Amino acid sequence: MSDLAISAGSVRRRGVSSFLARNRRISLGGTVILLMILAAAFAPLFAGDPDSMNPMIRLEAPSAAHWFGTDSLGRDVFARTVFGGRISLAIGLSVAILAVALGILIGLPAGYYRRFDALVMRVMDGLMSIPSILLAISLVALTNGGVPIVITAILLPEMPREVRLVRAIVLSARERPFVEAAVAGGARTRKVLLRHILPATFAPLTVQGTYVCASAILVEAALSFLGAGVPPSIPTWGNMIASSQLYLGLAPWNIFFPGVALAVLVLAVNLLGDGLRDHLDPRLARSL
């Protein structure tokens, strides 16, 4: 009896490291994301001041003093790149979490109540057909912008995919024997939805959530680049690139470093998503 317990424990402990070794995309993507979150969180401790201007050192090439060079106002590109990650990560994560939450909140009843379903699905079709960048541009033109507006603007066109996913899972789960058994046993609808159907959505939603996060980071960067994103006083990878476009020939590092940071972060999130997808449900790989 005790032998069995010990072996189960050691299997579990070996499990974590062998899991990471077997799923290289999850460990690689996860490590890069974790490093970027740590860098963004502790930015004030090591990156220096992203806003201090110095006209004496405008557009300097990367050096020991300024690892990523300086921009047209003499600001340190390294500091701005590290601080810029904060907005990308914060918006990517909050849009992903909100999209998943709304997906569950709207998708669960939509999959269960036919009337509600028809209405919700048409509204989702409509939302999906409005290009996210244009929706954001119009929201920013109508209001005064700011982070909550940017999050709303990215969330609205992203959320329908979550709703559709949850609804599809509910539709197939309600035909399964264990749900029928619960209904036959007299369980109330609320309980059937929350206790028996909801857990089936967790794995696919985790995967889809990472894709939403990647997509939200890209849209935020594009909005900042177009001048329709967060206020220009906050450094973001998008507005760093926009404000340096005139100096592309003179000081390409101003565009290179935030551009590479953006691509690496999105690639890492997508890798994590692909790895999770293949690990959690190989069948899902084909249906998505």
Partner 1 sequence: MAAYTLRRLGSTVVVMLLVGIFVFALLHIAPGDPAAIIAGDNATPAEIASIRQQLGLADPLSVQFVRWFWHLLHGNFGISIFSDTPVITLIGQRLPATLSLTVLTIAFAVIVAVAAGVLAAWRAGGVLDGSLMGFAALGFSTPVFVVGYFLIYFFSIRLRWLPVQGYVPLSHGLWPWLSHLILPTVALGLAYVALIARITRASMLEVLAEDYIRTARAKGASTEAILFRHALKNAGVPIVTVIGIGVALLVSGVVVTETVFNIPGIGRLAVDAITNRDYPIIQGVMVIFSGAYVIINLLVDLTYTLIDPRVRY
Interface region with partner 1, contact rule CB under 8 A, candidates 42-50, 65-73, 192-200, 270-278? 270-278
Q: 35, 130, 181, 194: which one contacts partner 1 (CB under 8 A)?
A: 130
Per-residue burial over 182-192, b = 16 or more CB atoms within 10 Å of its CB, e = otherwise: beeeeeeeeeb
Q: Tokens representing 132?
A: 């996210």
Q: 22, 122, 176, 191: which one contacts partner 1 (CB under 8 A)?
A: 122
Number of residues written out for the chain? 288
Task: By CB under 8 A, tell whether 137 contacts partner 1.
Answer: yes
How many CA atoms, within 13 angstroms, populate the side-chain half-sphere of residue 24? 0
How many CA atoms, within 13 angstroms, populate the side-chain half-sphere of residue 61? 2
Q: 87, 89, 214, 272: which one contacts partner 1 (CB under 8 A)?
A: 214
In angstroms, what is the minimal distance from the CB of 169 to partner 1? Answer: 20
In angstroms, what is the minimal distance from the CB of 140 to partner 1? Answer: 7
Interface region with partner 1, contact rule CB under 8 A, candidates 104-112, 169-177, 185-193, 260-268? 260-268
Q: 53, 93, 135, 198: which one contacts partner 1 (CB under 8 A)?
A: 135
Distances (CA, A) of 35 to 29, 49, 85: 10, 20, 11
Task: By CB under 8 A, tell whether 253 contacts partner 1.
Answer: no
Interface region with partner 1, contact rule CB under 8 A, candidates 41-49, 76-84, 169-177, 258-266? 258-266
Task: By CB under 8 A, tell whether 9 contacts partner 1.
Answer: no
Output phi, psi for 130, to 5 deg: -90, 120
Q: Tokens representing 281?
A: 């449900």
Report DSSP state, residue 130. S
How far is 206 from 96, CA to CA, in rounded Å?
9
In angstroms, what is the minimal distance from the CB of 192 to partner 1? Answer: 30
CA trace torsion 46, 52, 56, 58 (10° rounding) = 80
Output phi, psi for 159, to 5 deg: -60, -35
Q: 203, 252, 280, 284: which one contacts partner 1 (CB under 8 A)?
A: 252
Which residues of this protein are in contact with partner 1, per CB under 8 A?
122-123, 125-135, 137-143, 214, 218-219, 221-222, 225-228, 238, 241, 245, 248-249, 252, 255-256, 259-260, 262-263, 266-267, 270-271, 274, 285-286
